[in-house]
Amino acid sequence: MSPIISERAGAGAGADCAVSTHGLTKRYDRDVALDSVDLRVPDCAVYILLGANGAGKSTALKLLMNLEPASGGTARVFGLDAAQHGPEVRAQTGYVPERHDAGYTWMTCGQLLRHASVYYPAWDHAYAARLSDALELKLERKLGRLSKGDTRRVQLTLALAHRPPLLLLDEPTDGLDPVVRKRVLALLAEHLADRPTTVLITTHHVHEVESLADHIGVLRAGRLVAQMARDELQRTVQRYRIELPDGWEAPRDLVVAASRSSRATREVQWTVVGDEREVTDRLTTAGARVRDVSSLPLEEAALALLPVETSR
Amino acid sequence: MSHATLHPTPRIADALREQVRTVALSLRGPAVVALVLLALGSALAIAEFVTGGGPVDFAPELSMLPGIVGFLFPIAVWKSERRFGISFLWLLPVDRRRHALVKVAAGWVCLMATVLFFLVWMLGLALVTGGNILGDHAVRLLPSAIVPQSGTLDPAALRTVLYAPEPVLWLVPFTAATGAYVLASAVAIGVRHPLRWAIGVPLSVMLVSVIGAAANIDALRLLASRLVEFIHEGRYGLDALLTARAESLNTAVILATGKTVSVWRGLPDIGEWAVATLLWIGAGLVVLVAASSRQRERRRPRAPVSP
C-alpha cells in the first residue's frame, strides 16, 4: 500500500505543529526501527500513533525525548530540535514510557513525586495531590513493591502533574484494570479541557481514546504509511456493500483492507481505502453494483490500515 | 508555530541539592551496616582498653579506610541507575552529561559527610581511651630506606625520634577519599562494565609479569613490577594520596633478636603528599570530565535527510 499522508491539518510543512519530524530514521545495527518518518502533530491535537508490535512507535517517542540518538533526520518539539535541546524538550513533555519502571525501587511513591517536583519548576502540587487521590496512589509504598498497574498510575501522575504542553503516552493504559482505565481517560479528558495540551498516544486500544482523537498516524515496519485527521480517515476508509456479477474480478489496484461475503446472496462487504466517489466509480465500471457505503468506527478504520495479520 | 507557553528547565543548584538528598536517602541501608560495624569495632577497642590494652590513637593519615570507601562509594551512588540505558535520571529535564556530573558531585558531598562522621567518631574514641591526638610520639627510624632481610637488623641501628604529625594531615582522609572517589566515578560513568575493568587491568599487569617471569624476559617482568611500584609506592603514588605514604613508609621488621617491631623508612612529607594529592585529584577530574562525555546529551550524527 502506498502511504496515505494527508496534506491537510498539520500534514504540511509543520508550521503549526507541536511535534514534527523530518526524515526521522533509527537503525539498530542492521534493523531499521524507523525509516524516514515525517510525523506532523498539530498544536493542541490528540494524535494516535498506531502500529503493530515492533512497528517503531516507542522508538519514535524515545527519539522525540532525545533518549536515544537518531540515525538520521530531525525531530522538533515546539520548534526545538530534540537532538540539540533535549533538556528543554523534556521540560515541555509528560512522558509515560513503554516500560513499567517508575525509577528507584527503594523510594516510596511519595518520595518519587517529591523528587520529580524539584526538576519541574511548573510542578502543580495541588494537581499532583488530586491526581494521586484520583488514581489512588499508595504514597507510602516502595516503588519496588508496586504492581504493573500501580507503577503505571505513578508514571501517569508524573507525566501530568507538571501540566506539560505536550504528553507523549506510550500505551498509557497498559496494565490497568478496566475501572482505572476509565478513570485515567476521564482524567486525561479533564486535563485537556483545563489546559491546551498536545497529546501523542501510542496504543493498541484505539476505542479507548476514540473520543479524544483528532489525528491518526499508522506506522508499519518503521514507515509512516498513513497520517491524517480523524474525519478524513473515516472518509477514506469505508465499508462498501457490493453485489457482484458471476466471474467478477476486482480492479487490480483497489486497496481492499477487509472483506466479508454472504453465500445466500451475491453480496460482499469490503473495507476499501480510497476516495468514495473514485472507488464507487471504479467498482461500477468493473461491473459491480454498490448498494451501500458506510463509515466505520475509528478503530476499525484505523486497523484497516495495519498489516492484515494485525487488523484481523 | 505553537502557541504553548514553554516551561523552564530546573536550576542546576536545585538539581544538585535534590541529588544530594537522593543519594543520601539511597545510602541509608549501607550506612546502617557501616554504623553497626563501626560500633562493634569501637566496643572491642574500648573493651581492650578497659582490660589493660593500649589506648586508641587518633592518626587520621594512617587509615586507608577513607580511600577504600572512596573507591567503593560510586557503586552505591550509581547502583539504582541504568548508566547506559534509559533510566529515570535521564528522563529528567537536565542535560545528561551535566546531570551525571551533578550526581557525582552529590555523591562526593555525601562521601565527605561520611568521612567527617568517621573522623569525629575516631576522635571521640581516642578521647575516651586517652589516646594520642596528633601529638608527638616516638617512632623507630631505619638508618636507610632499604628494609633489611628478616632477622639481620641490629636493634642498635634503629634510631628513635619524636614524630609530631603536621596538623594538615587531618585533611588526608578527605583528600584520599576525594581522589579515590573521583577516579572510581570516572570509571563508573565512563565504561559500561566497570567491574571488568577493575579486575581486568590488574589481571593484565599480573599476566605481563607472569609471562615475563615464565619466558625469562626481564624487561617485561621489570616493566610490570616497576609500574605497580610507581603507581602504588612511588613518591607521588597512590599511597602518597591515600595515607601521605604512611602505609608504605611504615613496615614491620624482624630484629636480629627475633623480635618483630614496627619501623619507619622515613617520615611522611607534607610537600610530597600535597603534590601527589594535586596530581591524582587533577588527573581524576580530567578523566572524569572525559568520561562524562560518554553520557553527553545525544547529538544528531548526520545531516537531515532531504525530502
Domain limits of chain A?
4-231, 236-311
Nearest-Cα residue of chain B relative to residue A103? B88
Contact (CB<8Å) A120/B80: no
pLDDT tens, position by position, B8-35: 999 999 999 999 999 999 999 999 999 9
Residue B300 has pLDDT above 60, yes or no: no
Residue B304 has pLDDT above 80, yes or no: no
pLDDT tens, position by position, B64-78: 899 999 999 999 999
Q: Which of residues 151-190 of A touch B (CB under 8 A)?
A: 162, 164-166
Contact (CB<8Å) B4/A165: yes
Cα–Cα dist A15/B2, whole Å: 8
Record the cell numbers describing residue B76, joined without a space. 552505591
pLDDT tens, position by position, B45-55: 899 888 888 88
Whether residue A36 lies within 8 A of chain B, CB to CB, comes out as yes
Are B91 and A97 in contact, with CB atoms under 8 Å apart? yes
Record the cell numbers describing residue A63, joined without a space. 527519539
Nearest-Cα residue of chain A relative to residue B96? A87
The H-or-E segment that residue A276 falls in is: helix A276-285
Whether residue B304 lies within 8 A of chain A, CB to CB, comes out as yes
> Residue A299: exposed, middle, or buried by beta-carbon count in 10 A (0-12, 13-18, 19+)?
middle
Q: Which of A62, A115, A168, A194 to mutate to test the interface with B (most CBs of B within 10 A)?
A: A115
Contact (CB<8Å) B305/A62: no
Whether residue B96 lies within 8 A of chain A, CB to CB, comes out as yes
- Reduce the DSSP state of residue A75 to 3 states and report it: strand
Pick A91's closest partner by Cβ from B3, B7, B298: B7
- Distance between start and end Cα atoms, chain B: 21
**Which residues from chain B sit within 8 angstroms of residue A121, using beta carbons?**
7-10
Q: pLDDT tier at B143 (50, 70, 90 boundaries)?
A: confident
Nearest C-alpha of chain B: how many angstroms from A129? 20
pLDDT at position A300? 86
Nearest-Cα residue of chain B relative to residue A87? B93
Whether residue B26 lies within 8 A of chain A, CB to CB, comes out as yes
Residue B84 has pLDDT above 60, yes or no: yes
**Which residues from chain B sit within 8 angstroms of residue A103, using beta carbons?**
80, 87-88
Nearest-Cα residue of chain B relative to residue A119? B10
Nearest C-alpha of chain A: how many angstroms from B28? 10
Cα–Cα dist B16/B105, whole Å: 8
pLDDT at position B254? 83
| pTM of structure | 0.87
Contact (CB<8Å) A18/B10: no
Q: Which of residues 271-300 of A touch B (CB under 8 A)?
A: none
pLDDT at position A11? 47
Contact (CB<8Å) B88/A102: yes
The string of DSSP codes covering chain B is ---PPPPPPPPHHHHHHHHHHHHHHHTHHHHHHHHHHHHHHHHHHHHHHHTT-PPPPB-GGG--HHHHHHHHHHHHHHTTS-TTS--HHHHSSS-HHHHHHHHHHHHHHHHHHHHHHHHHHHHHHHHHHT--BS--EEEEE-SSSSPPPTT-B-GGG-EEEEE---GGGGGHHHHHHHHHHHHHHHHHHH-S-HHHHHHHHHHHHHHHHHHHHHTT-HHHHHHHHHHHHHHHHSTTSHHHHHHTTHHHHEEEEEBTTS-EEEEESS---HHHHHHHHHHHHHHHHHHHHHHHGGGPPP---SPPPP-
Q: ipTM value of the model?
A: 0.87
Pick B91's closest partner by Cβ from A73, A95, A164: A95
Nearest C-alpha of chain B: how many angstroms from A20? 11
A228: left (phi over 0), alpha (psi -120 to 50) or beta: beta
The CA-CA-CA angle for residues A271, A274, A279, to 5°, reads 80
- In order along its 312 residues, chain A shows pLDDT tens digits of 566 766 554 445 556 899 999 999 999 988 999 999 999 999 999 999 999 888 999 999 999 999 999 999 999 999 999 999 999 999 999 999 998 877 789 999 999 999 999 999 999 999 999 999 999 999 999 999 999 999 999 999 999 999 999 999 999 999 899 999 999 999 999 999 998 999 999 988 888 888 899 999 999 999 999 899 998 988 888 999 988 887 777 777 777 776 777 666 678 888 888 888 888 988 888 888 888 999 888 888 888 887 644 443
The CA-CA-CA angle for residues A212, A217, A219, to 5°, reads 135
Whether residue A198 lies within 8 A of chain B, CB to CB, comes out as yes
Nearest-Cα residue of chain B relative to residue A84? B299
pLDDT at position A149? 94
Question: Distances in Å between the alpha carbon of A147 and those of A12, A141, A158, A177, B38?
Answer: 43, 11, 17, 12, 38
pLDDT at position B299? 61
Nearest C-alpha of chain A: how many angstroms from B32? 15
pLDDT at position A159? 97
Q: Which residue stretches of A100-253 are H helix?
A: 109-119, 125-134, 148-160, 178-194, 206-209, 230-236
Nearest-Cα residue of chain B relative to residue A15? B1
Fold of the domain spanning A236-311? Alpha-Beta Plaits (3.30.70)
pLDDT tens, position by position, B242-298: 888 887 788 888 888 888 888 888 888 889 999 999 999 999 999 999 999 999 886
Are A270 and A258 in contact, with CB atoms under 8 Å apart? yes
Whether residue A119 lies within 8 A of chain B, CB to CB, comes out as yes
Yes or no: is domain A4-231 CATH 3.40.50.300?
yes
Pick A69's closest partner by Cβ from B17, B94, B301: B301
pLDDT at position A249? 78
pLDDT at position A265? 67
More confidently predicted of B80 and A70: A70
Cα–Cα dist A45/A230, whole Å: 11
In the sheet with A255-261, reading across from the earlier edge strand, the strands are A255-261, A267-273, A237-243, A289-295
**Same-fold call for A4-231 versus A236-311:** no
- DSSP single-letter state for residue A94: E
Contact (CB<8Å) B304/A62: no
Residue B297: how many other CB atoms lie within 10 Å? 18
Question: Distances in Å between the alpha carbon of B169 and those of A87, B104, B114, B172, B271?
Answer: 43, 25, 18, 5, 11
Residue B227: how many other CB atoms lie within 10 Å? 14
Q: For the residues B197-219, what does the mean pLDDT come to?
A: 87
pLDDT at position A10? 47
Contacts with B122 (C-beta within 8 Å, 6 or more apart), sequence order = B56, B58, B60, B63
Contact (CB<8Å) A66/B14: no
- Reduce the DSSP state of residue A33 to 3 states and report it: strand
